[in-house]
């Protein structure tokens, strides 16, 4: 397969990691060379930036500084990880990318959307995914899923209104980019969400001339 860039988006606990792994397994079964990655924090520079962003002790971090840190992480990630993998023909599955930035820092924190757009243009050089899967889930349900398994990080500790604003932001971004986005109801059982995602990704691959088997049965 040729290089293909897919991002997975959604609020905390929507199932991004779960579904990225399931999609990756399916893509591998179709012969793809898959690279799993995520933002923030892939690679050793990114891991240090991620620590600053998510550390609950960093309550003095300003919204603008936070937005720029995310962009620094992304610039590093694009150049060091994403572009080389795509050039090598991998299918790159990235857990969070530019749309998280717009939803969380723009709609959630109220940072100017035009500023974020410019920042992302600089960080990515214009690299955007062919497909973005948006796992849509109410913040209450998502946060409930997350706290069952671990302590909340600095972002998860935000008030529920913040999470509602960013969820509405995701909807607005998806509406403005209907060709790039595929929206899934992430409240459905894991297996149903998986099937919808595989249909969407399979459709994209078929359109692009790849040979894929869309039979959902496990081998
Ligand atoms: N469709 C689903 N229904 C019920 N539980 C789910 C579903 N999808 C995922 N989960 C569970 O919810 C929890 C969070 O899932 P996961 O870590 O995949 O979400 P995430 O979007 O990656 O979260 P985070 O934003 O924290 O990275 C896990 O325990 C997972 O097993
Ligand atoms: Mg995750």
Q: Which of 84-88, 119-123, 140-144, 152-156 is predicted least confidently?
A: 152-156
Q: How far apart are CA 79 and CA 34, in angstroms?
A: 18
Nearest listed ligand to the Cα of residue 16: 1
Instruction: Determine the distance separating the centroid of ligand 1 and the alpha carbon of 209, expressed in angstroms.
Output: 32
- DSSP bridge pairs for 182: 133
Ligand 2: distance of its center to the CA of 22 in Å? 13
What spacing in Å lies between the alpha carbon of 125 and ligand 2's midpoint? 26
pLDDT tens track for 2-41: 789 999 999 999 999 999 999 999 999 999 999 999 999 9
pTM for the model:
0.93
Query: Domain 4-207 class?
Result: alpha beta
Query: pLDDT at position 131, please?
Result: 96
Q: What average pLDDT does this structure show over 151-155?
A: 76
Predicted confidence (pLDDT) at residue 106 exceeds the cutoff of 50: yes
Neighbours of 168 (CB within 10 A): 13
Residues with CB under 6 A from ligand 1: 10, 12-18, 145-146, 149, 186, 188-190, 193
Q: Which of helix, strand or coil describes residue 56? A: coil
**DSSP annotation string for 164-191:** HHHHHHHHHHHHH-TTTEEEEETTS-HH
- Beta carbons of 4 and 130 less than 8 angstroms apart: yes
- Helical ranges in the chain per DSSP H: 16-29, 43-54, 63-77, 83-87, 98-101, 113-124, 139-147, 160-176, 190-207
- Mean pLDDT over 121-132 rounds to 97
Residue 219 has pLDDT above 60, yes or no: no
Q: Which two tokens stand for residue 126?
A: 């214009």
Ligand nearest to the CA of 100: 1
Contact 187, 114 (CB under 8 A): no
What's the chain's average pLDDT? 93
Does residue 165 register a pLDDT over 70? yes
Q: Where are the domains of the chain?
A: 4-207
């Amino acid at each position: 397969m040729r290089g293909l860039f897919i991002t997975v988006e959604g609020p905390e606990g929507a199932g991004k990691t779960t579904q990225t792994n399931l999609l990756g397994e399916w893509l591998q079964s179709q012969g793809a060379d898959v690279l799993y990655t995520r933002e923030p924090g892939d690679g050793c520079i990114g891991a240090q930036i991620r620590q600053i962003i998510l550390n609950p002790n960093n309550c003095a971090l300003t919204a603008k500084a936070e937005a720029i840190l995310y962009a620094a992480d992304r610039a590093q990630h694009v150049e060091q990880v994403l572009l080389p993998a795509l050039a090598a023909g991998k299918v790159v599955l990235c857990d969070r990318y530019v749309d998280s930035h717009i939803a969380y820092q723009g709609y959630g924190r109220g940072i100017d959307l035009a500023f974020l757009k410019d920042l992302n243009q600089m960080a990515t050089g214009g690299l955007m995914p062919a497909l973005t899967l948006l796992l849509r889930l109410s913040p209450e349900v998502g946060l409930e899923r997350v706290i069952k398994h671990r302590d909340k990080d600095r972002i998860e500790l935000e008030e529920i209104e913040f999470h509602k604003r960013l969820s509405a932001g995701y909807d607005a971004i998806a509406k403005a980019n209907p060709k790039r986005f595929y929206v899934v109801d992430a409240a459905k059982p894991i297996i149903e969400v998986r099937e919808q995602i595989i249909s969407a990704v399979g459709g994209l691959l078929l359109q692009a001339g790849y040979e894929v088997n869309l039979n959902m049965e496990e081998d």
